């Protein structure tokens, strides 16, 4: 209550310090208190230390691996890329080995794995395990890595949110591998291996046909095992139709004696020339596998090594006969481009390795070029006794 102007003002009863104090000494009433909240003046600090704002931790999102694996093999490889069955099988084996390794090391099932679990560190550990535990070569290790890279490129295209982990895996480099000199057989060694086969039986005739076609056609072992009688033309000029890497088809000429060998084999087996079943079969009438072909070849090579020790200098595989055919064509002065088409190479650089491996051609070129180096006279032997040496002059 604000007192009115003038000195004779008296507060009403009860408005002083004591209720009913009208007859006593009157004191001026206190002004009413201001009930509004007053703000304290803000004084800024010289070095304010502000606590970081509290942020709620975001939940980590993971992506299941199983859906990517199934669509990679059921849709991407066969439908989108039109990959061959051999490519799909190779990629399948790689992911089977990888998932088993991760499941064992992380103590969980393969179905419970996530894409984020496939880190570069774990993949490098898996590749190292291939070389140490499974005794794989560096070339096999790089082939497994190529399959893993193909899978992660698919994941990157399918789910952009996984770009960072995919790019880290795709950055794993290919390991450099030593390139050994290509081995090949001489005419004597090739004839000696063929002589070890007993052609009096149907199985022996099949083995002889296998080795003969490996050399005459220069085909890869899988190309030959996929060959059917309907792919052979027996009318002159005879040839075979082979399906190589990347679904590339090529026609390879056959020598007349090799065509007669195939026809006689089909006649003895009671098969027609237009048969679509594989030409080379096992005892069960099924397609002969690569491991079965390698086993048969190793058996005859071991027999030949007993009488021809030069065959033991290196390991002979079915691919050695392909190298042998290429080297014999090169030594017969066949142009390199023709050899490239004969072998089914996509680039002539793949065929140039045979030029680097032909020691006979290098020696012949060295003899033609000549050298100014001459062997000096044989030095006389000087005796320790000087007088004796003077006497011998």
Helices 290-307 & 202-217, crossing angle to 10 degrees?
A: 90
> Is 245 one of the catalytic residues?
yes
Alpha carbons 193 and 197: distance in angstroms, whole number? 8
> Is 38 one of the catalytic residues?
no
Choosing from 76, 141, 220, 323, which is the catalytic residue?
Answer: 220
Give me the long-range contacts of 53-62 (CB less than 8 A, separation at least 24): 61/161, 62/114, 62/115, 62/116
Return left, alpha or beta for 357; rule: phi > 0 is left, psi -120 to 50 is alpha, else beta.
alpha
Strand partners for 243: 249
> Is 299 one of the catalytic residues?
no
Q: Quote the distance between the C-alpha of residue 355 and its chain's center.
A: 27
Choosing from 141, 144, 322, 325, which is the catalytic residue?
Answer: 322
Residue tagged 């033309």 (tokens): 233
Choosing from 114, 241, 319, 328, which is the catalytic residue?
Answer: 319
> Is 220 one of the catalytic residues?
yes
DSSP, residue by residue, 26-50:
--PPPPPP--SPPPPPP---SS--P
Choosing from 241, 245, 287, 328, which is the catalytic residue?
Answer: 245
> Is 354 one of the catalytic residues?
yes
Residue tagged 């061959």 (tokens): 84
Choosing from 141, 206, 340, 345, which is the catalytic residue?
Answer: 345
Torsion from C-alpha of 114, 117, 119, 124, nearest 10 degrees: -110
244-272 burial code (b ≥16 CB/10 A, e <16): beeeeebebebeeebbebbeebbeeeeee
Catalytic machinery residues: 220, 245, 319, 322, 345, 354
């Amino acid at each position: 209550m604000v007192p009115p102007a003038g000195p004779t003002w008296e507060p009403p009863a009860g408005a002083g310090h004591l209720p009913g104090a009208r007859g006593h000494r009157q004191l001026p009433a206190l002004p009413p208190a201001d009930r509004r909240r007053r703000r304290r003046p803000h004084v800024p600090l010289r070095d304010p230390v502000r606590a970081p704002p509290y942020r709620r931790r975001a939940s980590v999102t993971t992506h299941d691996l199983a859906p990517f694996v199934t669509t990679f093999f059921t849709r991407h490889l066969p439908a989108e890329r039109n990959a061959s069955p051999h490519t799909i099988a190779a990629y399948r084996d790689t992911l089977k080995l990888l998932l088993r390794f991760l499941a064992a090391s992380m103590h969980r099932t393969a179905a419970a794995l996530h894409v984020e679990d496939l880190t570069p560190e774990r993949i490098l550990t898996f590749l190292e395990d291939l070389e140490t535990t499974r005794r794989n070569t560096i070339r096999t290790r790089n082939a497994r890595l190529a399959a893993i890279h193909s899978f992660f490129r698919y994941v990157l295209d399918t789910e952009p949110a996984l770009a960072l982990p995919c790019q880290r895996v795709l950055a794993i480099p290919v390991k450099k591998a030593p390139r050994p000199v290509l081995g090949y057989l001489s005419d004597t060694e090739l004839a000696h291996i063929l002589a070890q086969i007993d052609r009096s039986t149907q199985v022996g005739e099949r083995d002889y046909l296998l080795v003969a076609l490996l050399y005459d056609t220069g085909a890869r072992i899988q190309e030959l095992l996929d060959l059917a009688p309907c792919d052979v033309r027996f009318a002159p000029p005879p040839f075979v139709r082979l399906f190589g890497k990347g679904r590339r088809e090529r026609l390879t000429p056959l020598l007349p004696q090799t065509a007669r060998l195939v026809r006689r084999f089909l006649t003895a087996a009671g098969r027609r020339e237009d048969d679509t079943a594989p030409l080379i079969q096992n005892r069960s009438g099924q397609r002969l596998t690569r491991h079965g072909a390698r086993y048969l070849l190793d058996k005859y090579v071991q027999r030949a090594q007993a009488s021809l020790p030069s065959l033991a200098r290196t390991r002979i595989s079915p691919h050695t006969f392909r190298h042998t055919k290429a080297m014999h064509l090169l030594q017969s002065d066949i142009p390199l481009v023709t050899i490239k088409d004969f072998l089914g190479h996509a680039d002539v650089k793949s065929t140039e390795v045979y030029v680097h491996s032909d020691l006979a051609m290098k020696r012949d070129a060295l003899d033609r070029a000549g050298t100014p180096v001459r062997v000096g006279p044989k030095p006389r032997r000087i005796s320790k006794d000087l007088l004796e040496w003077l006497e011998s002059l």
